[in-house]
Each structure stands twice: as C-alpha cells, then as structure tokens.
Amino acid sequence: MKLQGRFLIVVIFISLLTSCTSNGTEETDPVVEEQQGKAEAFCYQSETPNSPIEGDYVKNRRQPLASVSKIMTSLWAMERLGINHRFITKFHVTPVGGDSIDIHMEGSKDPALGQRAAYYIMSELSQLGFNINRIETLSFDENVLFDWRLEQPDRIGGNTPFFKTQNDQNAATERNLSYGFGIQLDQTQFRQLQSEANDDGILIAPISNISARRVEFKPRSQFYRTGQTRTFIYRSSPLHRILKNMNNKSNNYIADHLFWNLGGTSEFNKFIQSSLAVSPAELEFHLGSGNNARYLNGSGKDTYNTGTCPAVIKTMVKVEKYLKNQNLKLTDIMAVARTDNQSTLEDFTGLFENAVIAKTGTVNIAKTLAGVASTARGRFYFAVLYQAESKEDADLAIGPIKEKVLELLRNNGGPQRLNYRKLIPLPFDKDSNLIEQFAISAGDEK
C-alpha cells in the first residue's frame, strides 16, 4: 500500500510540475517542498562578469556527480586534443585474387568506432569499387579500438570494458570485428543510419552485406604495404560532434575511453589543478562517465566520482569560455531540453523547452543535473547534486531537481528561448569520406 501511495504522489507531482495556471505561471506542488529538503546541493551563478556562486548551505559538500562527470571529461578532452580534433583510421586495401581483398586497419583509438561508423566506411569502400563481401583477412593494429555495440543501450548506460593489457584490448577488438563482419547486415539499422545521415547532408550508398573470412591482430610494426596496396584515410567527426553524441545520450563507453586514453585519474588530477584551479578535495574522479567504478577496483565497495557544486559551475564556465574562443556554443557539445529529441533531456518540457542546456546524471541513489538556464534576465549556470536515502527516493528525485531549475527560470522573468536547431551527432560527418593516400614509396612502406 505504501508503494502504491508513493507512485500516486509521483504521478500527481509530475503532472502538476508541468501544468500552468490561468495566468501562465507554473504552480509548486506541496510534494516538491517535502522532497526538496533531500537535495544535497544546489548552486547557480549569473553569467554577468564577477557574479558570485550562490546556493544553499551544503553547496561545498562533495557529492556523487553521476553523468554530470561527462562535462569535466568533455573539457579535458577539448583542452588536450582540440575541439576540432579528428581520430584518423587508415584502411590499407590489398587485392588477393579475383575480387577478394585484404584490409588492414591502422588506428588512433577512435572512441566512436563501432557499427554505425563501420557501415559508413564499408559503403565508402564499396563505392570505390571494392567487394566488401569478399574480405579474406581483416586485420587491425594495437591502436584500433572497436566495439560493435558502442551505441547500443548496454554500452551507453553499462559498465565500459576496461583492458588491463594490450592483449585484452586486441582480443575484444577481434571479437567485435568478427561478430560484425560475420552476421547479416542489419538493414533496419542501416536504413535508420542512412536517414539520419541524409538529414545531415551525408549520402550513404546502399550495401547488401559485409563479410570477412578471417579477423586477426597484426601489430603496426609487422604490417607492410605491397605494390598493389591502396590506402584510404577515414577521419571521424570532429571532437565536438563526438562530445555532443556522448552528452546527448550519456554514453559511458565514449566517456570512459576518452578518460583512459588521456591518462586516467592521475593525469586528470593534474589537469583540474592546472586548468580549473580545483583540488582533488573538491573533485575526485575514477571514471570519465561517472558510473560506479567498483567493478574496476575489485573491492565490492561503491566508488563514485564526487565533486562540489561550485566545482561543477567552474567547469561549466570554463567549458563555455573555451567554446566561444573556438567560435562554438555550448549547444555544440551538450543537449538542449526537448529540442534534442534523442537525448536524456527529451522529456524536459514546459519552461525547460529550448531554454535549458544541460547534462543529466543517474547512478544508484544519486541524481544530478547541471547546465545553463536561459532567462529573460540573462543566462545562469546551475548545478543540482541530489543524493537520496534509498533507490525509491532516488526515483522521486527528478521532481525536486526540476523544481530547482524551474524556480531559477521563474525568478528571472521566465525562459528566453534559444535560437537552436537540432544537431545530429553521428560518428562521421560530410568530411569523413575516404580519401586515398598516395605513398612516396609503396614497395616497403609500413
């Protein structure tokens, strides 16, 4: 009976939260006031120069960040790699008799290399005249990071495989390539990809199937081109599109591999102290995603990224400043409420719609939200870090979290809608088409 009652309260609360009175203002439900007492930290800052970070009395207490962590991971990746960085994968194609070919992949640990990128690349090779259904050997080097399912729910929200050794990574890549190139092409997925790419001005030519008889690891030092080998360069989407993809869907796989490839916790601690002037006492990281890291440390103890509310605000300010210097906007890497309908903000309606740019977070009993609210009186950075007493309480937390931001909007004249049109963050873009590399000496080039 108790559970049913709580469920009824949630339904009534959510309904009232998004409803409006006759004069156009939103009502505050009494349930919200009761639940707000459990919100561990809330803070905000006007974008007006020299504005202080304001908030409640616990704003300086370090709390689990959940996937709000991806904002910090985004900043680190942007500053280390450059916002327009593209991950390069070379495809060395060698005829081996008839219309059969060998393909060797020379990678750069592209964290967005999976099924959708593979379909695009194989379509490109097909258009270049290669029979992608007659691949004799598909080999790859130590810098190829490939997961067929990286944009599927179990990778987006699950534990990211961690490779303790290079052999572990090679084995996982071999399994993933063998699976993807050993099953029938998923025409439903392929047509969906074609449709999304077309909306972004990219034409993906139809293909019937892709198939490789063998998949194997071949170190870069042991691969040699022949006189007949042709090399084609694939360039991923620029980093800001990859980050948009990661933040829209809250993709743990992309975030964790970016974090690991940049050096992990020790290097991250150096970064936050030098770039953000934030100490590990204010921000502690174990994973780029904010997921529970207990599966990595083997202790069986919950291990979360934690941070203070002001540390999140400082990061948001630094992210936006960096993007402005690159002639980009926060909407280029983070989701816009409701407008980005393939994001964790697609259900943020009412006053939120096209007026709030944010990153959500959920892990165990923690729920978080951080971003920017666009109001009639200017823009405000905000963060809400909520740690519930139980999973049941956590399921109710989205209400009081939303109410904090709604209050910020209402107290500042209501929302000011953004001039924003939905972006489609694919792992490739119109400049990713395969370009042939002509070697100076093809006979023995590695």
pLDDT of 139-158, one tens digit each?
A: 999 999 999 999 999 999 99
Same domain? 94 vs 169: yes
Same domain? 246 vs 227: no
Neighbours of 27 (CB within 10 A): 10
Structural domain count of the chain: 2
298: Cα separation from own chain's centroid: 26
Domain boundary among 206, 236, 266: 236
Within a domain: residue 440? no
Same domain? 276 vs 401: yes
Q: Give the CATH number of the domain where residue 387 resides.
A: 3.40.710.10
Under the banding of pLDDT at 50, 70 and 90, the label for residue 31 is: very low
What are 194-243's pLDDT values in tens digits? 999 999 999 999 999 999 999 999 999 999 999 999 999 999 999 999 99
- Tracing tokens 């439900």 back to the chain, one arrives at 29
Cβ–Cβ < 8 Å for 389, 38? yes
Same domain? 184 vs 39: no
Report pLDDT for 13: 33
Beta-strand ranges (E) seen in 240-351 are 283-284, 306-307, 335-336
Q: Give the CATH number of the domain where residue 214 resides.
A: 3.50.80.20
Amino acid at 440: I
State how beta strands 41-46 and 54-55 pair: antiparallel
C-alpha Rg value of the chain to the nearest Å:
24
**How many whole angstroms separate alpha carbon 155 and alpha carbon 161?**
9
Q: What angle do CA 117, 120, 121 make, to 5 degrees?
A: 85
Same domain? 252 vs 162: no
Within a domain: residue 388? yes
Query: For the whole model, what pTM was predicted?
Result: 0.89
Same domain? 249 vs 229: no
Domain boundary among 236, 270, 301: 236
State how beta strands 135-140 and 212-217 pair: parallel
Residues 49, 51, 52, 55, CA torsion sign: negative
Under the banding of pLDDT at 50, 70 and 90, the label for residue 392 is: confident
**How many whole angstroms separate alpha carbon 197 and alpha carbon 270?**
39
- Among 54-63, 251-260, 421-430, 432-441, the range scoring the smallest mean pLDDT is 432-441
Report pLDDT for 439: 56
For range 95-114, the mean pLDDT: 97
Nearest to 385 by CA among 289, 310, 334: 310
Average pLDDT of the chain is 89
Same domain? 271 vs 351: yes
Within a domain: residue 11? no
**How many whole angstroms separate alpha carbon 404 and alpha carbon 370?**
11
Same domain? 165 vs 73: no
Same domain? 217 vs 320: no
Nearest to 151 by CA among 341, 430, 358, 342: 342
Within a domain: residue 177? yes
Same domain? 320 vs 388: yes
Same domain? 257 vs 381: yes
What are 309-368's pLDDT values in tens digits? 999 999 999 999 999 999 999 999 999 999 998 899 999 999 999 999 999 999 988 999
Report pLDDT for 440: 46
For range 262-274, the mean pLDDT: 94
Within a domain: residue 380? yes
Within a domain: residue 445? no
Domain boundary among 236, 258, 278: 236
Within a domain: residue 16? no
Domain that holds residue 272: 35-82+241-410
Within a domain: residue 416? no
- Among 17-21, 184-188, 360-364, 424-428, the range scoring the smallest mean pLDDT is 17-21
Residue 367: strand pairing partners? 362, 386
Same domain? 274 vs 313: yes
